[in-house]
Structure 1
Amino acid sequence: MCLYSCSGESAATMETDVFKMDDYNDIKGLLEPYPPLYAKDFPLILFWVPKSGSTTLHRWFLFQNGSPEDVCLMSDEEVHHYRNTMYTEKPGYTKELAEHLLKQKKDAYKLVRNPFRRAVSLFLTAVSAGDILDGMSFKQFLYQLQKAGAFDRHLAPQYINGEEEVVEHYIYLEDFKAHIREIENKYRLIKAPLSKLSKSPHHFSNFMVKKEKSADAAVTKTTFDWVIPTYESFYDKEATQLVADIFKKDFEVYGFDPNHVT
């Protein structure tokens, strides 16, 4: 993704109009491929990565910034399309966002998720989308992920090198409602209907009811028939260590315990 072409500005404009290109290069990796959520009259800059509750965060951001009243009814795809059309792909978006980050004009938050839960979600999403070999187990998936580093950015760790230089606060998905209410109170924002904003057909949690040993169980697109093992069921000692190794930086930076799945 070319940040300059998407934002409608050339590198020369970025360098002379607002700040030095060297400064911009210091944070460029934080702005792609998933630009943080930013609006001129909104007090926060919100960082996110896939499979960490990002669509709910997007709906909340759009709700707070006067998006259509039916934002709660938008599909995940519609939410992300609306974000691109109304925000990230508009001329000047990247330039203004980078300037605010470098000059710390707004408070920066990042939504993060327990790596143990996220790893299972990554696996199930890949299976349901047919993106991995039929019959692969969770543990085989982890070994492939460890070997490849990441199949794509969706499957990469949440931590992005250098984020601690600009991100001041973290929103933990496991305590999303409480954290969002604190933010709404602190910045005098509208109290959003979080239960409606969080509804998504892509959430697996409502179907994860089976308690069985599943770390080595072969899974295909038709295997679980929407009755899925609980996320803890995918872990044995070996799978736990694999996730702790693959997502080591996530555990370190965000304070999750790599030794306890629950």
Structure 2
Amino acid sequence: MELDFSRREMFRGAGVVAGGALFGPGADAGEADASTGVTEGTNISASASPDGRWVAFDLVTSIWTVPVTGGVARRLTDDLTDATRPCWSPDARTLVFQACRDGNYHLWTVASDGSGLRQLTSSPFDHREPRFAPDGCSIAFSSDRGDRGGYDIFTLDLATGGVITAVTAPEGASLYGPSFTPMGLAYVRIAGATAELVVGDQVVSSGEDVFGFAASWLPDGELLCTADGRTKRRAPEPCGTAARQSCGVASTSSSPTGGSSP
């Protein structure tokens, strides 16, 4: 917790970005009064809107959006939210992200115009790496809320707030980077020094150092992932019933705070 707090305070004290920084072609720091122009950063997570008009990204503890063609970026969250990993809803009206305001990561949503900031989860557990389902009705995420010492994949129903266990990691392993595909949930399974990309119940990587980031489904039916320091494509085989069931059919129901319910 101290590390997160110190990082947040460092960025706030530095005043690196305030108001509307400029990004993209023709960005000029002098055009933003009382602001610092920013043209690049490190460890940035970016997400393109489904309508192809906007890019959301995290920078200096905040979520921003900028036109896909470049221009003035709009800041959607404040200094204290410590927000990262934005993901668009299918209708491009809402963003979900993880935020570390109280020492744990929790899921939040905000409208694309910066209104309606809403916290979705709360508990002494982490809730992170959110991804909207294709129908926009639920969110998949990674969490240690099972209190078993590792991370599993869960889904949150936005209408009811109910949480279900989608995939439980094997003993000694943790699951990260969930994403929805037509063949089931994709995620990265890490056990010791071994990291594998899994779709449903099928391992689609072999002897590679798969990074713990969510894979993307391509129109041609392949997965785009990162491994061994490169961007790679994978073509999963058609999966069976077990894989489809792992995509979020309830196995355990619980509340957003982490408590189980019947």
TM-score of the two chains, using structure 2 as the length reference: 0.25
Higher relative contact order structure (alpha carbons within 8 Å, sequence separation ≥ 6): 1
The answer to which structure has the higher helix fraction is 1
The answer to which structure has the higher strand fraction is 2
